[in-house]
Structure 1
Amino acid sequence: MPLTGIRVLDFGRYIAGPYCAALLADYGADVIRIEAPGGNDDRFTVPVAADGSGAMFLQMNRAKRSLTLKPASPEGRGIVRRLVETADVVVANLPHDALVKLGLDHDSLSAINPRIILATASAFGRDGPLSRNVGFDAIGQAMSGTVHLTGTPGQPYRAQVNYVDFGTALHLAFGVLLALREREATGQGQCVSGSLLGTALAMSNGLTIDEALNGIERQPIGNRSFGSAPTDLFRTRDGWIVTQIVGGPIFARWAALVGRPELPADPRFASDILRGDNGEELSAIMQGWCIARTSAEALAELAEARVPAAPVLKPGEALAQPQVAAMGLVEPVAYPGTPAPAPVIRAPIDLSASAKIPPCRAPQVGEHSDAILAELGYDADAISALRAQRII
């Protein structure tokens, strides 16, 4: 597997750090999650298991080993030092001053192991007036312009899925792979830095370029699109569907399907941006067509015409789709004390010549502490003493 032999120390919390490390674990890295004795708060978000472990935790920490530790204690610092000596990557989505306090900043880590790569993410990065502030996903959404443009006039909405956190994790994982590749040439590690605000702004950059160069201060328009139409959500006789009509050929096929073949010749609809500007009228036409049909009927006709469309599904319906089963995306993983195996989705990519590791569950609190410490040279008496002192 591509990352076999790479050891990752995961001090991450919630999504940005842990998901980065989980992606590396999927392809063979030995990832050690380091959390406080008794478990960190992010373990218990939306509990689904008898021990309180949560749904997000089972996804973010699959295939990892767990070491409980108080890293700020003198004994804990000694253990961290031994871990860093054996590691390739440290993941820690913490502000820079917190990293320094724990001895997890890159200067401190590289003094122990010059080959170490530190992957770190914070809300606002290391520099600037907000660099010491903390934040979560919604902060990035709100400060990137997307919350303002989502929803309706007078009522902005944030996305329910934490896409800024996930995007930051993906950028960090990309950076780690670049740093590993560079280390092959230089023998030296480096720091990979990301931020929630940076990720959010990168993802909304098309919108900010539009305003900077076109001078248009766009306002929220519900589920419609600024740059295409009819791109919107539509009620059918028994539910909702979405369409995304982009490009002249697809628009012409859609127009013919809904009985309005003259629309492509209308100068108001001559391009994607003009269709977006006049999207309210096109959405009304599509809504009239959809309401006379069930979702299944509408989707069948749209598919036949090769017009992009999909049903609006509930989370439980999403995993039950035959297409999801055909793609092999869901991998049930048993975790102690859950009513059924968790339907975990790992990295949704396939390499033609390199497989992922077999599906593995997330660890219970401190499940591998003794084994990891033994690997570092601690004997049974020393491990018992550390446990008695609540260091592990």
Structure 2
Amino acid sequence: MSKYHEANPGPLSGVRVLDLSTVVMGPFATQMLADLGADVIKVEPPSGDNMRKVGPMVNEDMGALYLHLNRNKRSIVLDLKTEPGRQACLALVKTADVFLYNVRPQAMARLGLSYEEVSAVNPAIVYAGAYGFGGDGPYAGKPAYDDLIQGMTGIPVLYEKNSGDEPRYVPLTLADRTIGLQAAIACLAGVIQSRSSGKGQSIEIPMFEGMTQFVLGDHLGGKTFVPEKGEMGYARLLATHRKPYKTADSHISVLIYNDKHWKNFLCLIGRDDLLEGSIFSSHSVRADNIAEVYSFVAQVLAEKNSEYWLGCFAQADIPAAPLYSMEDLMEDPHIKAVSQIVEMDHPTEGRIRTPGTLGKYSATPLKIYRHAPNLGEHTTEVLKETDLDQSVIDYLTNNTETSKS
């Protein structure tokens, strides 16, 4: 447990994380840990995290995505390619519970920060690597980014099957954020084990394998069984009409799912004659004919406007919602009521909006207690929390300022 952690209300107060990651996957993982109260120290090279450069921005090196991914953290600058920078990092390791990185393991070894070298100064450390491919396979050490992993796990082809359009990536950093969630869980699991046993471990969180699990969990289909019982794919998810339904004036999202929903819907449209002896009669029969089922709903909903259908579905207790744009989402009354978009003052960037913390904790409420840091904002502060001599801290700080300028 870190004795240096600044008091905050989160349930992970007392856990210290050294975050050597950049871009989205690793910083998203540590942002969640920081929101939960962990003391996350973001260790950056003199040039800073690449995501600092991605606009829009008010000031250089403080891009919008960087602000969202790095709140509640402290930033220090260390040139890990130098021996003083490496030694300072190892001094911080002595105070930490978790050491997270998202470059290839070979790069960490070249820096002299392999698991063997890091655990030598802190045997209880949880040494977590989140990167493209597991070390036991033929792709080990290959570079990986969100788009590549989406492509290799078939997500663009799923889009093609569903829409009939050309393959395309999901317009979100889906792989980065999905594996970032897995990395955060892995770090917490490692800390629990380390604190119970007194000894940490090295943990690998590979993107390709993680997204393969994510995709095939839905789409193994007939290959679930040996011998196989049909084709791969979850038919409902791949149905052409599984998309927002077009109404007479716009689109809405509707999921008529269980037997009760279907009974209510068919009665609503005056087609209770289809309750028995048709493709709508049971969940299994609907699943076997899902393309025709969704096509039928699409034809019916096109006849009246969205306001009419949303009112009808609310009365019939059928799940339905308007189709939002990003701008609509910002104005949603529920999102406003639960403060999921927070306005706050940043000391250098002015008034900003950022997604709020997630969930309610009755005993340890969450909050944004620290702004996203400027590059190296906490270097001196954090290094003073180690066993380094003041002369070494002064040397590191002065050389950091020189390299940044």
Query: Could you tell me the TM-score, scaled by structure 1's length?
Result: 0.90
Deviations along 1:359-392, whole A, 9 cap, x unmatched?
4321111111121223334357434542365289
Q: 1:272 to 1:12 in 2, by over 3 A?
A: farther
Q: 1:388 to 1:20 in 2, by over 3 A?
A: closer
Deviations along 1:81-115, whole A, 9 cap, x unmatched?
11111111111112111121223332221011101
Could you tell me how far apart the structure 2 residues matched to 1:289 and 1:312 are? 18
Q: Matches of residues 75-90 of structure 1 in structure 2 within 5 Å?
A: 75-90=84-99
Q: 1:201 to 1:383 in 2, by over 3 A?
A: closer
Q: Which residue of 1 aligns with 2:153?
A: 144
Q: 1:116 aligns with which of 125, 129, 142?
A: 125
Q: 1:285 to 1:340 in 2, by over 3 A?
A: farther
Q: Tell me, yes or no, if structure 1 residue 282 matches structure 2 residue 308.
A: no
Q: Tell me, yes or no, if structure 1 residue 68 matches structure 2 residue 70.
A: no
Identity across matched positions, percent:
28
Q: Tell me, yes or no, if structure 1 residue 300 matches structure 2 residue 342.
A: no
Could you tell me how far apart the structure 2 residues matched to 1:313 and 1:128 are? 42
Q: 1:321 aligns with which of 332, 355, 374?
A: 332
Q: Tell me, yes or no, if structure 1 residue 225 matches structure 2 residue 237.
A: yes
Q: Tell me, yes or no, if structure 1 residue 34 matches structure 2 residue 43.
A: yes
- Amino acid aligned to 1:201: T
Could you tell me how far apart the structure 2 residues matched to 1:285 and 1:387 are? 65
Q: 1:122 to 1:358 in 2, by over 3 A?
A: closer
- Amino acid aligned to 1:369: T
User: How far 1:264 sits from its partner (Å)?
Assistant: 3.2
Q: Which residue of 2 aligns with 1:386?
A: 399
- Amino acid aligned to 2:60: D
Deviations along 1:187-223, whole A, 9 cap, x unmatched?
01112221111221121123443141354445899xx
Describe the SS at the equivalent of 1:360: coil
Stretch of structure 1 that moved more, 352-361 or 29-38: 352-361
Q: Tell me, yes or no, if structure 1 residue 14 matches structure 2 residue 14.
A: no
Q: Tell me, yes or no, if structure 1 residue 354 matches structure 2 residue 364.
A: yes
Q: Which residue of 2 aligns with 1:102?
A: 111
Could you tell me how far apart the structure 1 residues matched to 2:394 and 2:302 are? 72
Q: 2:379 aligns with which of 361, 369, 378?
A: 369
Q: Which residue of 2 aligns with 1:237?
A: 248
User: How far 1:338 sits from its partner (Å)?
Assistant: 4.4
Q: Which residue of 2 aligns with 1:199?
A: 210
Describe the SS at the equivalent of 1:390: helix
User: How far 1:137 sits from its partner (Å)?
Assistant: 1.8
Describe the SS at the equivalent of 1:107: helix
Could you tell me how far apart the structure 1 residues matched to 2:280 and 2:100 are? 49
Aligned residues: CA RMSD: 2.6
Give the paired residue count. Answer: 388
User: How far 1:343 sits from its partner (Å)?
Assistant: 2.7
- Amino acid aligned to 2:31: A
Could you tell me how far apart the structure 1 residues matched to 2:324 and 2:137 are? 42
Query: Could you tell me the TM-score, scaled by structure 2's length?
Result: 0.87
Runs of at least 4 residues of structure 1 off by over 6 A? none
Q: 1:266 to 1:374 in 2, by over 3 A?
A: same
CA contact (8 A) 2:108 2:114 kept: yes
Q: 1:306 to 1:149 in 2, by over 3 A?
A: same
User: How far 1:166 sits from its partner (Å)?
Assistant: 1.4
Q: Which residue of 1 aligns with 2:52?
A: 43
Describe the SS at the equivalent of 1:268: coil
Could you tell me how far apart the structure 2 residues matched to 1:195 and 1:384 are? 34
User: How far 1:272 sits from its partner (Å)?
Assistant: 3.7
Q: 1:123 to 1:355 in 2, by over 3 A?
A: same
Q: 1:382 to 1:337 in 2, by over 3 A?
A: closer
In structure 2, list runs of 5 or more residues that go unmatched.
1-9
Q: Which residue of 2 aligns with 1:210?
A: 221
CA contact (8 A) 1:49 1:336 kept: no
Q: Which residue of 1 aligns with 2:3?
A: none
User: How far 1:337 sits from its partner (Å)?
Assistant: 5.4
Could you tell me how far apart the structure 1 residues matched to 2:32 and 2:106 are? 26
Stretch of structure 1 that moved more, 82-91 or 289-298: 289-298
In structure 1, list runs of 5 or more residues that go unmatched.
none
CA contact (8 A) 1:329 1:345 kept: yes
Could you tell me how far apart the structure 2 residues matched to 1:384 and 1:324 are? 42
User: How far 1:125 sits from its partner (Å)?
Assistant: 1.6
Q: 1:326 to 1:28 in 2, by over 3 A?
A: same
User: How far 1:276 sits from its partner (Å)?
Assistant: 4.1
User: How far 1:235 sits from its partner (Å)?
Assistant: 1.4
